[in-house]
Structure 1
């Protein structure tokens, strides 16, 4: 079983996520880089365990796709915030990272 990230890492990840403005997103790697880390997977772990009280839908995969198994609720948030989306002819929607990516 993987070790949980330390509380300082957790609080720094959550602070970055809280700072992402509506209609913008960051990838897991972007959040890690914003706190001087390369631990994108650990950011994902923080979001899985502690992310429910922050705008979790604003942290997405590098492909632009929303968090796995959260596509439907994330879509509701994206529509409410007018987040730019891409709808391929076949396949799942994704966030338009070129337009929506936030760089603090």
Structure 2
């Protein structure tokens, strides 16, 4: 079995600037529970952790709570304090397979 931390790192590395994935989406790809994904994301410094959000679009609070400003720098759309996942879902990401949502 692949090291869970490395599995999270590998999936997170595929998230392009301006896109996000939810903890649940990463959980599906890695076979982990979303909370396990969250623990690994909080511990990993060398991944684009700010591009990983909750299912409702709430940005990560780990790493000093800087995720919203980092996402804004990448022009990720927000609705209030949450990432607008619907807007991102309607914008195809050429690097992700069809059926994968952001």
Cα distance change on mapping 1:71 and 1:82 into 2, 3 Å:
farther
Choose from 68, 82, 85 the match for 2:78.
Answer: 85
Larger fraction in helix: 1
Q: Per chain length, whose mean CA-contact separation is higher, i.e. which structure has more relative contact order (CA < 8 Å, sep 6+)?
A: 1
Runs in 1 of length 4+ with deviation above 2 angstroms? Answer: 68-72, 99-104
Paired residue secondary structure (2:10): helix
**RMSD of aligned residue pairs (Cα, Å):** 2.2
Paired residue secondary structure (2:8): helix
TM-score, normalization: structure 2?
A: 0.77
Task: Tell me if 1:41 matches 2:29.
Answer: no
Larger radius of gyration: 1
Q: How many residues align?
A: 92
Task: Tell me if 1:61 matches 2:54.
Answer: yes
Unpaired runs of 5+ residues, structure 2, are: 90-95
User: Post-superposition shift, 1:99?
Assistant: 2.3
